[in-house]
Amino acid sequence: MNKKNANCSPGKTKKGDSNKVSHNSQVGNQDVEGFQNSSLVDETKNVNQESLVQQEIVEARDKLEKQKQDNRKKELDLLMIKSIQNENLLANLTIGDSIDLTKMIDEKIKEIDAKIASLD
């Protein structure tokens, strides 16, 4: 027992002590509610930040894939130019390179045919 309540009989409290307990429990409840609310706000912020990071990752992957395709097209353009200059170069192509080069040549022929048709 604390010294303030030393003169009181067991089970009895001084006048005003119940208000202190009530006030303290209200403050405690407010603290818990505040913590829960701030926890929800923090969780929402974290979810938002996580979704932004995921979106940036998707965009970076798309950009990387586009860059890979662009680089491959440039490689095939160079290969086509070099093969015109040196026919022996085609003999050393891998199957994958041969297929890709054939597709690119077919696309170029279609582009040329479309330009010719638009001139007529």
pTM of the model: 0.53
What is the rounded CA–CA span in Å between residue 81 and residue 72?
A: 14
Per-residue confidence at 74, pLDDT binned at 50, 70, 90? very high
- Measure the CA angle with vertex 107, ends 102 and 108; round to 5°: 95
pLDDT at 87: 76
Section 86-115 average pLDDT: 90
Given this model, what pLDDT does residue 53 score?
Answer: 94
Q: Which of 23-27, 50-54, 69-73, 111-115 is predicted least confidently?
A: 23-27
